[in-house]
Amino acid sequence: MPIGDELKAARKAKGWSHTRVIHALTLHARHHGVSIMTERSLKTALSRWENGHTTPDQFYRGLLASVLGLPDPYDLLTQTSRYELKLDVAVDRAEDLSRYQGPPDSAASIASPLIDDDQVVAGYVFAHSHLLPTAVEPESTDRTYAANRLRDRAAQLMELDFQRGGGHVRPMLQSFFLAEVVPAVRACMASKSDRNVFSAAAEVSQLLGWAAYDEHRHREAARYFVLGLRLASEAGDQLLGARLLANLSHQYTFLRKPRQALTFARAAESVLRGRGTPAVETMCVMMEARALAVAGERQEAIAAILHAETLFSRSSDFEPPWIGYYDAAELAGDAAHAFHDLSAFREVQEFASTAITSSTPARTRGFIRFLSAQAALVAGDADHAAVLAAEAMQTGVTVLSARHQRYVDDFRAAAIKRKVPQLLDVLERYRSAPVQKPRQSSEG
């Protein structure tokens, strides 16, 4: 839509006259201590902008966006809401995003679309020129070393994210991305070799996405996943591309947006068709199952879970290292979540019992314990629910995770609904326990 039509539509949607818009612009500018043109000049300019005779510059576009509720095209989160075909632009925006320090999202900001979903899917899935074999030079030893170094550090930070939460790891990931990942990618952009570096960079971008997601920075997280898609495309890494699409599905499921979650899960499966590995395909199918569960599609969700279990039983000589976490316990955890959303609490207990092993990281352990606690509560076993909730809360003491808090809130709501006050006492007992804040690491 032309900017003039966009301005006019936004003004009329509010029921505002030109005079009301000018008054709002003046008040907003005064509040922020900036100078703008006179009211008379604004009246002329606003008419010319709406009629398409001229367009507002960056300053006035931002001002209009604020008072009329329009997206500001110069805002970083607006600029990064789509799949970017130009690699240099995508890398520039990834660098800018890794410096972003905006606040966590409000309920209002995540009620609207996180990204341009359809454009992202089409941009990645149909940009096959990035995935076709091309004549490349052999990768240099230096570049192979660079990719391996990025992956090794990413693996360390991924483990820290699982154990301590996105609030701990996000500052480290941002520093690492700026100091090492962006320079490594830029060093490779002039060469037709070194696809491995792009793939390694995509892995780091997706970790940044998970860390932001865990901190309730959902718009930021989705953009890291989309930028990771672009890097995975440059690498010709379809397994990782499917993983990033599945991440977006996971995020939309968490936000209770099943239509978008299904879109991304099925896009991930289509990318893998004939090219997947058992663990990666299983994970993608389970994202579909979880989306179907949130949508209330019981039979389809159960069918997807059964299909995932069949896929997981296949043997494979190769799985990418980044999917190593997706074992039988992780699959059981996804199934427990799906059955929880279907209110099938007997099945929740069954799958949750196998979703925790001696190696299950702290944050995941907390999530599963809360699912088990709610299932016990529904079954009428308040004492067992209290024990499980206490374990989950104790785990949360070491974790900086807004997602963990969401599980706390959901369990609290269930305890209030069922009028079990002793469970609220359990939650309050751990609520004020301090969480150790992360220190900046010189390693990035």
260 Cβ neighbours under 8 A, 6+ residues apart: 113, 117, 248, 249, 252
User: For residue 133, what is the enclosing H or E element?
Assistant: none
Per-residue pLDDT tens listing for the chain (444 residues): 577 887 888 888 889 999 999 999 898 888 777 788 998 898 999 899 889 888 888 678 778 877 787 665 556 666 678 899 899 999 998 998 888 887 787 776 777 778 889 999 999 988 754 444 433 334 455 567 889 999 999 999 999 999 999 999 999 999 999 999 999 999 988 776 668 999 999 999 999 999 999 999 999 999 999 999 999 999 999 999 999 999 999 999 999 999 999 999 999 999 998 889 999 999 999 999 999 999 999 999 999 999 999 999 997 889 999 999 999 999 999 999 999 999 999 999 999 999 999 999 999 999 999 999 999 999 999 999 999 999 999 888 889 999 999 999 999 999 998 888 888 888 887 665 444 444 433 333
Which residues lie closer than 8 Å to 246 by C-beta, 6 or more apart? 264, 265, 268, 283, 284, 287
What is the Cα–Cα distance from 441 to 444, expressed in whole angstroms?
5
Domain boundaries, the chain: 3-74, 78-236
Residue spans of beta strands (DSSP E) within 254-392: none
What is the CATH class of 3-74? mainly alpha
Contact 376, 384 (CB under 8 A): yes
pLDDT given at position 8: 87
* C-alpha–C-alpha distance, residues 62 and 57, integer Å: 9
pLDDT on residue 1:
58
User: In this predicted structure, what is the pLDDT of residue 13?
Assistant: 85
Amino acid 425: pLDDT: 84
Q: What is the pLDDT of residue 67?
A: 79
Q: What is the pTM of this model?
A: 0.80
Provide CB contacts within 8 A for 64, sequence distance 6+. Answer: 7, 25, 56, 70
pLDDT given at position 181: 96
| pLDDT in the model for residue 435 | 45
